[in-house]
Chains A and B, each alone.
Chain A
Amino acid sequence: MRISSGIAGVALVGLLAACGGDDGGDTTTATGGGGDDAAAYPTESIRMLVPYGAGGPTDLTTRTVGACLEEELGQTVVVENLPGGSGALATTELVGAEADGYTLSLVTAGTMVLTPLANEVGYTKDDITPVGVMTEVPSVLAVGDNSPYASAEDFFAAVEAEPGTVNVGTPGASTPQAIELQRLAEEHGVEVTAVPFNGNAEMTTALLGGNVDAVLINASSDVVQNIESGAFVPLVASPEERLSWLPDTPTFTELGYDGLTLSGSTFGLAGPAGLPDDVVSTLEDTLQTCLEKPEVQEQLGEEYVLEEFAGAEELAEVLDRTQEVYEPILG
């Protein structure tokens, strides 16, 4: 079922892309412009939706990228926060919008894969057109500075000695982190007790107060600060390769827990399904230009901008892989 709708989606994309291309061509000809199709877009202001409230990292990311897109594309970019429904409110708005490139949104594996799997929201990841990855925030498994576990080996040895007695905080019940711990138990037989909190601030307090033994936490700037100050000791990092700013911290993959690379958060940029190819490539190129600018990198946090730009295809891959892994668990 899902596969067929996927194919239908792809077919639709192709169809619309063709139409879009034609339209673009017409416009260009009509206005006598000498540029290629992409030059026709954008001709009016662009809305960028944020599925979360103002002030958080998603908001910061979207606003930073939005400001740069505005500068590069010469059109006003309006960033709009539509929090609620675990991202479903903004995403519903996105998938219902015209596929013309004037409505875009920040997407994550959470809003595009987890939310639709866990709830009846009336959309799936196939209802969007991925544009590219803005930032990627990895997760780390961290303990407090006075923890008995000095290394990942100590930690896993303790867990295996007494399954279920080690408490690990996660940022919420159906966050990638919580699912990762579930996979750790199911696929690798390592059982910890996952304790869901409500965001990073609560988890940080719980870890510092010794009320959980460890946390699997998004390494956003507050956590980086705590790692730098020594209050948090990172034991394991979520990406496949070691993090450049945590060269001594092993990854789950290295430790033999294959496949546990999905607990980080990818903040992608996407439009509604059927976004014309030329619009996608214009946006993709502009996004790449933006992410290469030092001032943009600095605002986003250099550690969160991928060293190698990941465009539409790579973002689609991330979503597909997440869907594939999560569907049997949540579906």
Chain B
Amino acid sequence: MGILEGIGTGFSVALDPTNLLYVFLGVLIGTVIGVLPGLGPTATIALLLPLTYEIEPVTAVILLAGIYYGSMYGGTITSVLLQLPGEAASVVTTFDGYQMAKQGRAGPALGIAAIGSWIGGTVSVIGLTLLAPPLADLAVEFGAPEYVALTALGILLVTYLGTRHPVKSLCMAALGLLLATMGQDLITGTTRFTFGQISLFDGLDFVAVAMGLFGVGEILYNVEQTEKAQAVKSKIKNIWPTKADFRASGWPIARGSVMGFFIGVLPGGGGVISSLASYATEKRVAKDPTRFGKGAIEGVAGPETANNASSTSAFIPLLTLGIPANVVLALIFGALLVQGITPGPQLISQEPEIFWGVIASMYIGNLMLLALNIPLVGFFVQLLRVRAGILAAFALLVTMAGVFSVNNDPFDMWVVLIFGIVGWLMKKTGFEPGPLVLAFVLGSILETNFRRAMLTSGGEFSIFFTRPMSGTLFALMALVIIISTVAGIRRRRQRSRPATPGEEDLAATGTTAEPEGTPGAENTDGTATDEASAQSDSGVGRDRS
């Protein structure tokens, strides 16, 4: 199927009234949770995951994808108006967006963010349309050594980039890898660390772990915060930016689109890193860098474009390789697995309606968001009046019912509660759940592929370096370590200069403590392992003992 024909199929799926409704619901929910501080896309998708089991797989992914990129739009609103990033990727927007609002330019800030997001999202969908099919063809050639290299790279990037404390992240990643060893050993078929519990034969359920760490942990943490209704003082007017604004934002939007696209494809990329990178770039190329932090529109336009572009391109590794690039994609991966679909290089040929339907829905969803955001900003802001306590109680109820429905196993509810408490403690102590969940998911892919590579090579480690693709990836990893070490040193030097305005406040509010809503590259393969085996196995009676 060619790209044109594919996209045609895609639109015929995406324009189905049911799917149109779910795109709309997705972007609406996304915007709403983007506005509500604390409840980011990860927590929301984790909470809503079980509700998607009853709908068609393509519809489920359309909904979840809509929530993801929708939240990128919504997060901007509170960042600009209240200096409160609704979700992590919008942290950067508070630097200049809030300053613009203070100068009475909240309207143009929100306007340019919506327009930039739309352009970034659309550019990225076009990139996805053009690049994913050839990439999927290439991905078929990937064998065990390549998967080892990719997953190792993912874990490396997640622990190195986009986290404040690489050492803490590393600890969490290690814990995630350990947890991934529970359950059946895929190569020998024996069970490990099950403590005689049949419920642990397949390891911990990824959905339950993610819902606990992100959903319940987040809820507990928020409930603990003092509740106060937020009042929005700034008047929002002149949303449509002026010509001068457009002129100033043109290049930042263009650069943000491209940068966001490429960063999103990287494991562990997505949201925050892309917006940080875009902000840093704009500041570097600006004629007068001192304007940044004082209301420069480029500082809003670039990052907002980039985070949206990256949230779309993050779908590429999932749809072509079956490797989710971040936690949100891991959850979407989980949703597909539960539906009996294993994303991978075969997806595009075996399930074209899912592949192309989701892509087409993104074109539509981005248009809807543009239409929603510009006139309805005032309405969304009112949402901030909802008390966290009410939201929390409701969310907890949905979580518990939801996780039970996945496997009909009460055991999973305990897993959610325990990991909820662990997640809450981690948040309080500054450990991020992202690397843990990512490593948990990637861990089983990494382990089985490593051992598979050893089996096929007869125990020769050279298999990882002699194959062109995995050799390149390992070289890339070495490069990442060198670059990030150098950059880390440089950043530390820069930090001695006055911090970017807003950063400290944000840190103080705690809302931002987590750099990434989507912190980790995630693979949902954890689930994958369980569920895939359950399903495909069940598939054909894969009887594993």
Contacts and interface: CB of A to CB of B under 8 A. Distances in A.
Nearest to B528: A198
A84 interface: yes
Contact of A88 (B185, B201, B342, B538): B201
B225 interface: no
A126 interface: no
Interface string A305-324: 00000000000000000000
Nearest to B350: A222
B541 A199 contact: no
A171 B408 contact: no
Interface string A70-106: 0000000000111111111100100000000000000
B373 to A, nearest CB: 36
Contacts of B529: 198
A218 interface: yes
A220 B350 CA distance: 14
A84 B346 contact: no
B541 A265 contact: yes
Contacts of A80: 408
Interface stretch (A108-116, A240-248, A286-294): A108-116
Nearest to B185: A173
A50 interface: yes
Interface in A157-179: 164, 167, 171-176, 178
Interface residues of A, number: 69
Interface in B510-544: 528-544
A54 B534 CA distance: 9
B345 interface: yes
A32 interface: no
Interface in B160-206: 184-191, 196, 198-199, 201-202
Interface stretch (B140-148, B283-291, B416-424): B140-148
A267 B531 CA distance: 19
B53 interface: yes
B456 interface: yes
Contact of A208 (B140, B338, B543): B140
A212 B190 CA distance: 23
Contacts of A167: 455-456
A208 B455 CA distance: 19
Interface residues of B, number: 54
Contacts of B326: none
B69 to A, nearest CB: 26
A115 B201 CA distance: 10
B140 A209 contact: yes
Given A52-B534, A208-B140, A211-B143, A58 B189 contact: no
Contact of B340 (A55, A197, A218): A55
B408 A118 contact: no
A50 B541 CA distance: 11
Contact of B198 (A59, A92, A212): A92
Main secondary structure of the interface of A (DSSP, over half): mixed
B9 interface: no
A259 interface: no
B226 interface: no
A189 interface: no
A29 interface: no
A53 B542 contact: no
Nearest to B144: A211
A114 B536 contact: no
A212 B456 contact: yes
A108 B541 contact: yes
A195 B455 contact: yes
A18 interface: no
A330 interface: yes
Contact of A173 (B141, B189, B536): B189
B389 interface: no
Interface string A196-220: 1111111011101111100000111
A53 B531 contact: yes
B537 A199 contact: yes
B352 interface: no
Contacts of A274: none
B538 A58 contact: yes
A120 interface: yes
Given A202-B342, A209-B140, A89 B198 contact: yes
Given A82-B409, A205-B346, A56 B543 contact: no
A114 B190 CA distance: 11
A193 B543 contact: no
A52 B537 contact: yes
Most B C-beta atoms less than 10 A away, residue of A53, A86, A193, A266? A53
Contacts of A50: 538
Contacts of B104: none
A84 B543 contact: no
A85 B191 CA distance: 10
A58 B529 CA distance: 18
B198 A88 contact: yes
B202 A84 contact: yes
Interface in A98-146: 108-111, 113-121, 137
A66 interface: no
Contacts of A56: 340, 534-540
Nearest to A117: B545
A161 to B, nearest CB: 16
Contacts of A59: 340, 538
A51 interface: yes
25 contacts: A55-B535, A56-B340, A56-B536, A57-B538, A81-B407, A83-B538, A84-B407, A86-B201, A110-B544, A119-B191, A167-B455, A167-B456, A173-B189, A173-B544, A175-B543, A195-B455, A196-B448, A198-B528, A198-B529, A199-B532, A199-B539, A200-B539, A205-B346, A209-B345, A211-B144
Interface of B: 53, 140-144, 184-191, 196, 198-199, 201-202, 338-342, 344-346, 350, 407-409, 448, 452, 455-456, 458, 528-545
